[in-house]
Amino acid sequence: MEEGDRGLIKRVAFVLIDGLGDVSIPKLGNKTPLQAANIPNLDAIASAGINGLMDPVEVGLGCGSDTAHLSLMGYDPRVYYRGRGAFESMGAGLAMSPGDIAFKSNFATLDEKSGIVVSRRADRHFEEEGPILCAALDGMKLPSFPEYEVRVRYATEHRCGVVVKGPRLSGNISGTDPLKDNRLLLEAKPLDESEEAKHTAKVVNELSKEISRILVSHPVNAKRLAQGKNIANLVLLRGCGIRIEVPPFQEKHGLWPCMVAPTKIIAGLGMSLGIDILEAPGATGDYRTLLTSKAVAIANALSAPLNPTPNVFVPGEDGHKPGRSDGYDFGFLHIKAIDDAGHDKATMFKVKGLEAVDKAIRQLAKLLWIAESSTNYQYFLCVTGDHSTPVEYGDHSFEPVPFTMCRLREFVSAVGGESALLETSLDPFPLPTVVESGEDVTDDGGRKKAPAAIGGDSVAELNEIAAARGCLGRFHGGEMMGVITKFLKLDV
């Protein structure tokens, strides 16, 4: 975004920490993980900028990452949301044309005798075997419906994308996922009276059976059985969806967007909005991810052409294409591991994971500051979440998330000045290994006192409680891009 006579180019690094919010946890001394973590850099952003509490979609509405992301990016999910399947599949690399349907899919374990889904996630660590099984399913035929093409591609963890291409398909059908373990596998059913929906349900039910037939006899499962592991003899098909058609992000907000999101559903959602998905080697979208790699990719994208812009992902093709040569104005850095910690009920990992995110944000800030110091770019840092994932609940909930944004220049002051920031190591680091224990955490983990508030309000730390004192109050996620674009234009 170019601004005024001074020729300043304003760009924002937007860090979305999936599942960021939480509730007060007794074993953390009734603090939230954000309150318990030692996060001086996240606190510095809050101290240097503006703050508020954000209801991702609406007050009291627990939402998925897909609807929440749509809302935050300025697309009302009630208008645009058509199911998760298309996002997951596009993110997994499957090209989708109008009329194709897609599913968000899990490799799962079925008790064939009883028809009960004994485990909805055959294995969270499925990175080696998942792609092999997906290759076995990709291009499979449906005996009763030979006119349909089935494409399957591995996503992350236990997830894959499944696309069905062909005539007379409807996205308005239910899925096969019973949503809880130890329940009967469901049959897909039409959700309206149309012939297309009825026909699609039949196609999908045959697809589910054929997938299981192929998987049962696959050598990967024979090996897993011999090892005493859950076999992946089922793919749960849920969130049937069609590709949404929306005004591109750049047209809507006037910012050229890019995204680092190894989590396939987020990448697919980004692509649906016209956001370029950057290559970031080592960023995996799970606990093995290298946050530094994400920070470097976003920093390069936001500082191009000073630095080479990363390559971008193209669905349906194995290779990448060069990114935008002039770089990007809005760099979306998605972090999934914190949400995973919430789902896994890993309290201490959520705390320590947030500390790792804090470290990576400092690396990102350093890289951007080096660029800002030698160019006419002016950078902003913005951090928020897409929903709360309370770690003792293990799933998403409705509680609002903190939102914070500052100019990089003020952040540098808040962390002790340029020389302190430039001492930051840019060495990649893994997410911490944490042993969860049932013991209460009584110390404060060496948490430093938050810096004094020097920005737009009296808030000096990033957490759910402090954010309520922010100048932005409590607002819907649909307002967020308006806050960001106005701040970029603000001449303080």
Partner 1 sequence: MADKPSRALVLYGDGLARFVDPSNSHIHSLASVASCGFLSLPHAPPETENERVVREFAHLLDASEAYKLASGLKAKAGENEISTLAERFMGLKAALVTDSSALTSFGKLIGLDVLRLCELCQKSDTVPSDATASELLRLLGFEGGKCLDVSLYDSVFVHIGVDEHKGVRNIDSLVGSIIRMAQPGSEIVSRLHLSLVLSYGSVTDKDVSVFPVKTPQEEGINPAFAGLVPRQSYTMRGEKTRDDVRDYCPMLVAQWQHAVTRKDLVDTLSFEALQKLCGNLVIPADRFIHEVAFKLWKAPKYGA
343 binds partner 1 per the rule CB under 8 A: no
CA 212/CA 452 separation, integer angstroms: 59
Among 115, 139, 432, 473, binds partner 1 (CB under 8 A): 473
Give the residue with the Cβ less far from partner 1, 76 or 196.
Answer: 76
Give the residue with the Cβ less far from partner 1, 85 or 310.
Answer: 85
Rounded to a whole number of angstroms, the minimum distance from the CB of residue 239 to partner 1 is 5
Give the residue with the Cβ less far from partner 1, 276 or 399.
Answer: 399
- Judged by CB under 8 A, the stretch of 7-15, 89-97, 434-442, 471-479 that binds partner 1 is 471-479
Rounded to a whole number of angstroms, the minimum distance from the CB of residue 139 to partner 1 is 26
Give the residue with the Cβ less far from partner 1, 76 or 206.
Answer: 76
* Neighbouring residues of 270: CB distance < 8 A, sequence distance ≥ 6: 91, 257, 259, 261, 277, 332
Query: Do 464 and 24 meet the contact criterion of CB atoms below 8 Å apart?
Result: no
171 binds partner 1 per the rule CB under 8 A: no
178 binds partner 1 per the rule CB under 8 A: no
Residue 168 falls in which region: left (phi positive, over 0), alpha (psi -120 to 50) or beta = left
CA 240/CA 82 separation, integer angstroms: 8
438 binds partner 1 per the rule CB under 8 A: no
* Neighbouring residues of 343: CB distance < 8 A, sequence distance ≥ 6: 19, 389, 394, 395
Rounded to a whole number of angstroms, the minimum distance from the CB of residue 448 to partner 1 is 20
Rounded to a whole number of angstroms, the minimum distance from the CB of residue 144 to partner 1 is 28
Q: Return the axis-axis angle of helices 347-374 and 291-303, rounded to nearest 10°.
A: 30
457 binds partner 1 per the rule CB under 8 A: yes
Alpha helices in 264-308 (DSSP H): 264-272, 291-303
Helix (H) or strand (E) segment spanning residue 184: strand 183-184
- Residue 210 is classified by DSSP as H
Among 322, 394, 417, 445, binds partner 1 (CB under 8 A): 394
Give the residue with the Cβ less far from partner 1, 415 or 453.
Answer: 453
480 binds partner 1 per the rule CB under 8 A: yes
Q: How many residues lie near partner 1 (CB under 8 A)?
A: 67
Structural Rg of the chain based on CA atoms: 23
Query: Do 193 and 201 meet the contact criterion of CB atoms below 8 Å apart?
Result: no
Rounded to a whole number of angstroms, the minimum distance from the CB of residue 400 to partner 1 is 8
* Neighbouring residues of 262: CB distance < 8 A, sequence distance ≥ 6: 156, 280, 283, 284, 285, 286, 289, 334, 336
Give the residue with the Cβ less far from partner 1, 362 or 387.
Answer: 387
Chain positions 3 to 32 lying near partner 1, rule: CB under 8 A, are 23-26, 30, 32
* Neighbouring residues of 323: CB distance < 8 A, sequence distance ≥ 6: 258, 276, 278, 301, 304, 309, 310, 311, 312
Q: What does the per-residue mask of binding to partner 1 show for 38-77, with x meaning CB under 8 A? A: ------------x-xx-x-xxxxxxxxxxxx-------xx
- Judged by CB under 8 A, the stretch of 79-87, 194-202, 252-260, 272-280 that binds partner 1 is 79-87
* Neighbouring residues of 278: CB distance < 8 A, sequence distance ≥ 6: 258, 259, 260, 297, 298, 301, 310, 311, 312, 313, 323
Among 112, 181, 326, 392, binds partner 1 (CB under 8 A): 392
CA 369/CA 378 separation, integer angstroms: 9
Rounded to a whole number of angstroms, the minimum distance from the CB of residue 126 to partner 1 is 19
Rounded to a whole number of angstroms, the minimum distance from the CB of residue 151 to partner 1 is 20
Among 104, 158, 243, 264, binds partner 1 (CB under 8 A): 104
- Judged by CB under 8 A, the stretch of 221-229, 271-279, 433-441, 479-487 that binds partner 1 is 479-487
Query: Do 305 and 351 meet the contact criterion of CB atoms below 8 Å apart?
Result: no
Among 395, 417, 432, 436, binds partner 1 (CB under 8 A): 395
CA 129/CA 27 separation, integer angstroms: 37
Among 202, 209, 345, 447, binds partner 1 (CB under 8 A): 345
Residues pairing with 420 in the sheet: none
Query: Do 267 and 94 meet the contact criterion of CB atoms below 8 Å apart?
Result: no
Among 127, 206, 418, 479, binds partner 1 (CB under 8 A): 479
339 binds partner 1 per the rule CB under 8 A: no
Where on the chain is the footprint of partner 1 (CB under 8 A)?
Answer: 23-26, 30, 32, 50, 52-53, 55, 57-68, 76-78, 81, 83-84, 104, 238-239, 345, 390, 392-400, 453, 455-458, 464-465, 468-476, 478-480, 482-483, 486-487, 490, 492
